[in-house]
Amino acid sequence: MNINQSKLDSREQLELALGEQLNALISAAHALNVKAAARFDSSLQPAAFHIVRWLYSYGPASAAAIAEATAMDRSAVSRLIKQLEPLGYVSREASPDDGRAILLSLTEQGQQQTIAALNEKGSVFFGRTAVWNDDELHQFIHMLKQFNGL
């Protein structure tokens, strides 16, 4: 085996190792999202919590905007909103810009439930980095931003 082939093999091994770690991160994040969704309200599907989290982060929006932003089917968003409303997590109001348009937003109860669920989720991630010094944490954030193209 020549030196160039050895470098390629080494790079391939590194890329495979990176892929394994990214898969582990995605899997762990998904598991935490499912747990957070159950903490929010175990009677709902995790997809409903995805909508709730989006509303919590970005504020009132139409069902169409939520569907587009979350890459969910519009009918699925509508169905999940119909489940969230009677539970008191989401409310509808006329858009101030267009009285015909309906905006969905979190109620106070929805916000409080979301905060509790996200705090529990956050404690897991923060627990993993608690032993890192500020330089290590800064470097990790910087590398993730680069990786994410930000």
pTM over 0.85: no
What is the tally of structural domains in the chain? 1
CATH no. for residue 143? 1.10.10.10
Tokens 């770690």 -> residue: 21
Per-residue pLDDT of the chain (150 residues; tens, 9 = 90+): 566 666 668 889 999 999 999 999 999 989 999 999 999 999 999 999 999 999 999 999 999 999 999 999 999 999 999 999 999 999 999 888 877 789 999 999 999 999 999 998 888 888 889 999 999 999 999 999 999 888
Residues in the chain: 150
Cα torsion angle, 68, 70, 73, 77, sign: negative
Which two structure tokens, joined as six digits, stand for 78? 């509508």
Tokens 């109001």 -> residue: 93
Bridge partners of 61?
A: 104
Amino acid symbol at 44: L
CA proximity to 80, closest of 93, 94, 68, 67: 67
- Can you tell me the distance from the alpha carbon of 144 to that of 150, in angstroms, rounded to the nearest whole number? 9
Domain that holds residue 72: 3-147
Amino acid symbol at 134: D
Which of left, alpha, beta for 149 (phi over 0: left; psi -120 to 50: alpha)? left
Which two structure tokens, joined as six digits, stand for 127? 């627990």
